[in-house]
Structure 1
Amino acid sequence: MTLDPRLQRLLAFLAAHKNKLSAGLMVFVLTIAGFALYELLKNLHPADILAALRRITPAQLLASVGLTILSYLILTGYDVLALRSIGKPQPYWRAALGSFSSYTFSHNFGFAPITGAAARWRAYRGTNLDAADIARIVVIAGVTFWLGIFLLLGVILALQPGALRIHHYELAYPAQAAIGVVILTTIALYLWLCHRRHVTGNSAPLNILGWTLPVPTLRQALIQFTLAALDISVAAAALLVLVPQAMLAHFPLFLAAYVVAIVVALITHAPGGLGVFEAVMLVALPQVDRATLVSALIAYRLIYYWAPLLLAMLLLALHELARAFSFAKASHRKTHPQSSES
């Protein structure tokens, strides 16, 4: 098939200027998010936010910390599953380090494929994994995450009226439910294809633009959906418990807003989704007191984003020091074999 010359020129232009276009898009979105936040918060006084922050109890903070730890523990399963899929499993501690560091970096700095790959490259140094393996892990982990996003969106849209709303305007439930059913039908088709491909013996890896990716079995695909949906739900719960008097009955609507906010933040590649995530949450949850929600979002960013980032940086630094010490010790044994024997 021959592409239209105008389309070829457009694709060439996009490829040549993709970095500038991405940066421009991010600046544009951050500007829009900044204006949106200003409009949402212009009538809110700092004293109201401080008062709402003081209303968050130690029990709520501990619950959020516990759910954050659980979320990141679940996240380690992304790398464990990806490593097994490519046939190069690693000790759990190393897979956990790779997953934890990559996700804390991508959560805070944006551009997940780049920051996540860089963190994993440091974590998996000295193993039998090469650059192509790291890239496959990034892709498989990314696919796992998006499968969870689509599963949650499909279920919420199909079962929860009012899940898609902007301020007090919401999409009519029949239209919303239809979108949810289409998503869930697509997921069912994907699972059937995974099962069918292996039953018929056609389990050869997919080749996409020169990249070879293993086709998951039905069991692996179900694990992907469960793992990601559970991780995202627990992460949302870590924010919900910071909202005073939040009840379990509010969780479906809260989860819907959280999923949409995460997707928008990821698409824009804004560092940590800062500003974008908060703006979407405020718009999607008009029924929550604004000062209360802002205070919860501030505490959540400290607990779920910044504290794990500091821990990941510390763990990677210790990992590098341990590697350097082992290398120096091995070099000393080679150059002074007699002293090492004695």
Structure 2
Amino acid sequence: MGSDQSIFKEILEKRLLPGLSVCICAIATVIIWREFRRINWGLVWESLNNLSMVQLGIACFFILCSYGAISNYDLLAFRYIKKRLSPWKIAFAGLITYAISPNVGFAFLSGSMLRYRLYRQWHISNIEIAQIIAFTNLNLWVGLLPVSGLIFALFEFSLPTAIELPFFSHSLQGFGIFCLGMSSLYALGTVMLTKPLRWHNYHFQFPSLGISLQQILIFSLDWGFAALALHGLLDAPIAYPAFFGIYVLAMVAGLISTIPGGLGIFETVMLFFLQSTQTEEVILATLIVFRVLYYLLPFSIAVTALLWFEYWQTTKTN
């Protein structure tokens, strides 16, 4: 019996998981091709011609800073589970996952499979990988609730009529207060609930308050630098704090609402707030450039890096 289990484990880790990783890369390649075909490249080149090299350079720098912040999500997860591994390996796994999974779709599933593949290769146990996956998926909400809560509670925003938020269609300030309340409850849990919460065979241990504050900081740097990159590309006459509020609102609307047909929700919200500053064509072209720089370019690099990793692992074991 033990021999059969070891054979199955060897097949899983040396054949099935690398194959699964390559399948994700194949799906990602198809998506890249479809996205690149869908883009109006004439509009992109025209927009690029209107952007200075300084603007592009600054935007690329802020995008690198954003991805630098993103690489810390998995590093913080290892601190949470009190497990040691080379920081370079952790950052590599985190960046590969965060660059590929949101673009492939089914981000939780594809991200979980990628983390399982990479971390099993470095002898992290199944339970520890499950904890890392849960922690990194929690990061978004731990950071998003207080940041968006503060912005919506302190500043007046009105949504486009095509977008409705459940229960809060008339007052984003009410939504902001709700987010701050949820964030406060979570913070209270990190202080008060020091023992794991148990349900049947499952248990959840709240991160410490210190780790939770670091989650919020990393999230703020992640979205903050991304917003700085877009702010520099648009060159809109809007102060950065207000622009960051618009960026967060556009991202949140994309997360929790839907819009029938037409433009994406993110683009719709950005157009709604910026249409008085520039022409619609310029804004849309710049948003496409931002999407290429922030999403598609790192996506392509991550797929190439993952394929190289699988090839290197194959040659090493043969």
Quote the Cα distance in structure 2 between the aligned partners of 1:168 and 1:231: 28
**Closer, same or farther in 2 for the Cα pair 1:86/1:296, shift >3 Å?**
same
> Is 1:196–2:192 an aligned residue pair?
yes
TM-score (norm 1): 0.70
Q: CA deviation at 1:235?
A: 1.3
- 2:93 aligns to what? 98
Quote the Cα distance in structure 2 between the aligned partners of 1:158 and 1:266: 19
- 1:186 aligns to what? 182
Q: CA deviation at 1:120?
A: 1.6
**Closer, same or farther in 2 for the Cα pair 1:131/1:175, shift >3 Å?**
same
Q: CA deviation at 1:264?
A: 4.0
CA offset digits 1:175-231 (Å, max 9, x no partner): 443432332233223212211223xxxx22x34675433311111111111111221
Quote the Cα distance in structure 2 between the aligned partners of 1:243 and 1:89: 42
> Quick one: which amino acid aligns to residue 177 of structure 1?
Q
SS in 1 for 2:276: coil
SS in 1 for 2:121: coil
Quote the Cα distance in structure 2 between the aligned partners of 1:168 and 1:286: 16
CA offset digits 1:307-337 (Å, max 9, x no partner): 1011111221222223223322xxxxxxxxx
User: 129, 143, 146: which is aligned to 2:141?
Assistant: 146
- 1:213 aligns to what? 204
Quote the Cα distance in structure 2 between the aligned partners of 1:213 and 1:72: 28
- 1:327 aligns to what? 317
User: 295, 300, 315: which is aligned to 2:290?
Assistant: 300
- 2:32 aligns to what? none
Map 1:105-254; keep pairs closer than 5 Å: 105-161=100-156, 163-166=157-160, 175-198=171-194, 203-204=195-196, 206-207=197-198, 210-247=201-238, 249=239, 251-254=240-243
Aligned pairs, how many?
272
- 2:70 aligns to what? 75
SS in 1 for 2:82: coil
Map 1:281-300; keep pairs closer than 5 Å: 281-289=270-278, 290-300=280-290
> Quick one: which amino acid aligns to residue 193 of structure 2?
R
Quote the Cα distance in structure 2 between the aligned partners of 1:49 and 1:191: 44
**Percentage identity across aligned positions?**
29
From the CA coordinates, give the structure whose radius of gyration is larger. Answer: 1
> Quick one: which amino acid aligns to residue 83 of structure 1?
F
SS in 2 for 1:241: helix
Instruction: Indicate if the aligned counterparts of 1:56 and 1:242 stay in contact, CA closer than 8 A.
Output: yes
Quote the Cα distance in structure 1 between the aligned partners of 2:54 and 2:155: 29
Q: CA deviation at 1:168?
A: 12
Q: CA deviation at 1:68?
A: 0.9
**Closer, same or farther in 2 for the Cα pair 1:52/1:321, shift >3 Å?**
closer
User: 244, 247, 255: which is aligned to 2:244?
Assistant: 255
Q: Structure 1, unaligned stretches of length 5 or more?
A: 1-44, 329-342
Q: Structure 2, unaligned stretches of length 5 or more?
A: 1-39
Instruction: Indicate if the aligned counterparts of 2:44 and 2:288 stay in contact, CA closer than 8 A.
Output: no
CA offset digits 1:103-148 (Å, max 9, x no partner): 1112312221012112222322322324443333222112111221
Instruction: Indicate if the aligned counterparts of 2:258 and 2:265 stay in contact, CA closer than 8 A.
Output: no
Quote the Cα distance in structure 2 between the aligned partners of 1:298 and 1:148: 26
Q: CA RMSD in A?
A: 3.3
Quote the Cα distance in structure 2 between the aligned partners of 1:68 and 1:278: 19
Q: CA deviation at 1:151?
A: 1.5
CA offset digits 1:156-175 (Å, max 9, x no partner): 112222x3332799999x94
**Closer, same or farther in 2 for the Cα pair 1:115/1:169, shift >3 Å?**
closer
- 1:316 aligns to what? 306
Instruction: Indicate if the aligned counterparts of 2:69 and 2:222 stay in contact, CA closer than 8 A.
Output: yes
**Closer, same or farther in 2 for the Cα pair 1:70/1:47, shift >3 Å?**
closer
**Closer, same or farther in 2 for the Cα pair 1:51/1:307, shift >3 Å?**
closer
**Closer, same or farther in 2 for the Cα pair 1:300/1:169, shift >3 Å?**
closer
> Quick one: which amino acid aligns to residue 303 of structure 1?
L
Instruction: Indicate if the aligned counterparts of 2:43 and 2:285 stay in contact, CA closer than 8 A.
Output: no
SS in 1 for 2:233: coil
SS in 2 for 1:215: coil
Q: CA deviation at 1:300?
A: 0.7
